[in-house]
Structure 1
Amino acid sequence: MPPKKQTNALAQRKSAKEQLVQQQRKRRLIWFSTVGVLLVLIIVVLSLDPKPVVKAASFDYENLPMLGQSDAPVKIVEFGDFKCPSCKIANDTIKPQLVSDYIDQGKVAFYFMNLPFLGADSTTAALAVQSVYHQNKDAFWTYFDAIYDNQGDEQTEWATADLLVGLAEEIGLEVDYDLLRSDIENKTYLNEVNEQYGKANDLKITGTPTFYIDGVQYTGSFADYSEFKQAVEDALKN
């Protein structure tokens, strides 16, 4: 090949090589730019830390014992066992302050569901309160508090029919005591107790007391009223 033609061929190859190098640089630049934009977007999304959407549990509020007014903007449901020492602590520390701060103000309605899992007499106590609820709804919470005030040792079977009927008589509860005994011994409201227990199982509740505030499980301390109060305040804002 003549020298001039060789020179032209070399120049063409050099030009083609330079074009290829430039194209590769452009592709790398585009790739790095794309990755950079994606990383920035990921960082922004993570920094927002969106809270997961929690589906609120539903409850048959109309058929549960209620403390307060049914039209209260916030509804709290407690799952409890009358043999549970922690339930007694919550009843002594949380509920009285809820009554004065929110329930008496018409801001909160408080409901109760039985979760009798500690012993056979847990169910006996649940049957007793269901009987009182159906006889005289206004007497329910007086009886509720009286059982916790007279709570026996968790390891002993203390919630007997004799004790529960005797307690109702002692505090002058306005119910038929013979009917109360009959309802306990004949397990009149066992289906209701089992339904409430089943609801707890559906919600995967593992212990008592467990509270739901407007259908969302409260996961804070039940012995710290300030923490519980903040959860109620947050619910009132929604």
Structure 2
Amino acid sequence: MSKKTLKTANRSKKSPRRVNWWILGALSIMLVAAITINVIQQNQNKVDPVAIAPNEISQDKSIGSADAPVVVVEYGDYQCPACGDFALTVKPKIMEEFVNTGQVRFVFRSFQFVGEESQWAAEASECANEQGKFWEYYDKLYSSQAGENAGAFKKENLEGFAAELGLQTEQFNQCLASGKYTEKVKSETLEAQNLGLRGTPSLFVNGIFVEDGSHYEVLSQKIREGFEK
């Protein structure tokens, strides 16, 4: 084989490799473009939570002085692990430092979206609220999490929690069985959705949504800022 023929043969062997690199390059560009477009679309569709007026929020599930200068509102789901962390580790600090000293009124609103057991748990907490035991039941629910829709909040357990907390069980059980608070819980969830909330726990301080508000350092700082306004 002549040198010319050999070079031609070598070029023929190399050309598929060049083609492969071109294909890979083109695919990479297409992938980056697709990701960029997706991110842009997500940002365009993103709705920031709107402000709420504290006096427009029902405070039937609240604790603290009615005259407190700062109102903190939590939207939570009883099956949400992050809500459980907040309720058991952050909220007690907020209670001790701000609520028990008369500086903050803390309000809970239902945003139940994880599943059916979230709805049942929220209705049960309303029944506990009838007997003045909402916050005790709130703590019991969050300390009893055991996975999502895995039976932790089946109705027999919810009734058992009431008995453990010393509620009048016949009244509680009748309340839960009646479904009298089904629509109330659903309306609070719809309220959260209309505010643009996308997850739980979601925290507001004097009506203003607090990004990363489930962290003590962030929430306590926003509360202190609320004293200055």
Q: TM-score, normalised by structure 2?
A: 0.74
Q: Does 1:230 align with 2:221?
A: yes
Q: Which amino acid aligns with 1:90?
A: F
Query: What runs of 5+ residues in structure 1 fail to find an aligned partner?
Result: 1-53
Q: Structure 1 residues 171, 94: CA separation in 2 closer, same or farther (over 3 Å shift)?
A: same
Larger mean CA deviation between 145-154 and 175-184 belongs to 175-184
Structure 1: 4+ residue segments shifted above 6 A: none
Identify the match of residue 108 of structure 2 among 96, 105, 112: 112
Q: More displaced, 59-68 or 152-161?
A: 59-68
Pick which of 178-187 and 59-68 moved more.
59-68
Query: What is the deviation of 1:106?
Result: 0.4
Residue 191 of structure 1: aligned partner: 183
Give ranges in structure 2 of 5+ residues lacking alignment.
1-48
Distance change in 2, residues 1:62/1:71 (3 Å): farther
Residue from 52, 64, 67 that aligns with 1:57: 52
1:110-150 Cα shifts (integer Å, max 9, x gaps):
000111100101000010001111x223x111111111111
- The alpha-carbon distance between structure 1 residues 179 and 143, as it changes in their structure 2 partners (threshold 3 A), is same
Aligned to 2:28: none
Asked if the contact 1:64/1:113 (under 8 Å) is kept, the reply is no
Q: Which of 61, 74, 79 is equivalent to 2:75? A: 79
The 3-state SS of whatever aligns with 1:75 is strand
How far the C-alpha of 1:58 sits from its partner, in A, is 2.7
The number of equivalent residue pairs is: 180
- For residues 187-216 of structure 1, the C-alpha deviation after alignment (integer angstroms, 9 at most, x for no partner) is 111121111111101101111100111111
Q: Which residue of 2 aligns with 1:92?
A: 88
Q: Which amino acid aligns with 1:202?
A: N
In the superposition, the TM-score normalised over structure 1's length comes to: 0.71
User: Helix, strand or coil for the counterpart of 2:108?
Assistant: strand
Shift of residue 155 of structure 1? 4.8
**Residue 161 (structure 1) shift:** 1.3
CA-to-aligned-CA distance 1:30-87 (integer Å, 9 cap, x gap): xxxxxxxxxxxxxxxxxxxxxxxx9731354454311111110000110011111000
SS at match of 2:114: coil
Identity of paired residues, percent? 27
> Is the 8 Å Cα contact of residues 119 and 157 (structure 1) preserved in structure 2?
no
The DSSP-based 3-state class of the residue aligned with 1:145 is helix
Q: Shift of residue 220 of structure 1?
A: 2.3
C-alpha distance in 2 between matches for 1:108 and 1:203: 22
Matched, 1:159 2:159: no
**How many Å apart are 1:179 and its aligned residue?**
2.3
**Superposition CA RMSD, Å:** 1.7
**Equivalence for 1:147:** 141
Q: Contact 1:127–1:190 at 8 Å: present in 2 too?
A: yes
Classify the secondary structure of the residue corresponding to 1:205.
coil
